[in-house]
Amino acid sequence: MKQKLMFVTLLFLAANALGQTRYFPPRAFCSPQETEHCDRWYVPHLAAMKEPSLWELSKNQSDEVYRFLWLRTFNRPVSARLEVAADGSGELIVKVLSGRGGYSPGHLIENRKIKVEKESVDHFLELLGKAGFWDLPTEQEMNGIGCDGAQWIIEAAKNRQYHVVDRWSPDEGPYRKAALFLAINLGGLNPRYNDVY
């Protein structure tokens, strides 16, 4: 265990020394192994999208930003990032990669900006509130092993706070509704029914 912890620490120091963007706090996930796994899987997709680190943005008190990263095993990776303005309106940045969420990220094939009315921002925040987002654990204990599903990762930066919640293929509830509201309702993505998993 000590060797693995030392290895993860060395990886973290090496990444910082090379000037690579850190997307998640060193102990965001439950164990060093999970953090290393998520860095190897999630970070290449965010980097290919040229997405900012919300963890770094959280150090600026004026920023309020939410991001849904949708990594479906066999479908194109999607990011929907909502930047909230001082008046409560927002701007949604939707990005899609050419790869597959469970494999190689590929390259950026879609990058759109959409103005979002205050009422829609409020609705999204209401869904997050119903999910108890800020109190949810980052990871959820799973019964058994999931395969060929999707990672639904929602991050938030607000008032110098950062939180990330990672769920595997949620099939109901306000967390799922909040994520899909960003990607589909506001983002205009139109996946086939079978591609929403």
Domain boundaries, the chain: 52-190
Instruction: Kindly state the average pLDDT of the residues 137-163.
Output: 85
pTM, full prediction: 0.86
List all residues 6 or more positions away from 184 whose beta carbon is below 8 Å from its beta carbon.
Answer: 190, 191
List all residues 6 or more positions away from 196 whose beta carbon is below 8 Å from its beta carbon.
Answer: 180
* CATH architecture under which domain 52-190 falls: 2-Layer Sandwich (3.30)
User: 62: pLDDT confidence band, cut at 50, 70 and 90?
Assistant: confident
SS3 of residue 155 by DSSP: strand
Checking if the pLDDT of 104 tops 80, the result is yes
Instruction: Round to whole Å and give the CA distance between 19 and 126.
Output: 37
Q: Residue 31 has what pLDDT?
A: 63
Q: Do 163 and 133 form a contact (C-beta atoms < 8 A)?
A: yes
Lowest mean pLDDT among 76-90, 133-147, 152-166: 133-147
DSSP 37: H
More confident residue, 20 or 143: 20
More confident residue, 144 or 34: 34
Q: Quick one: tokens of 82?
A: 């909502």
Q: What residue has token string 């439950």?
A: 30
Amino acid at 22: R
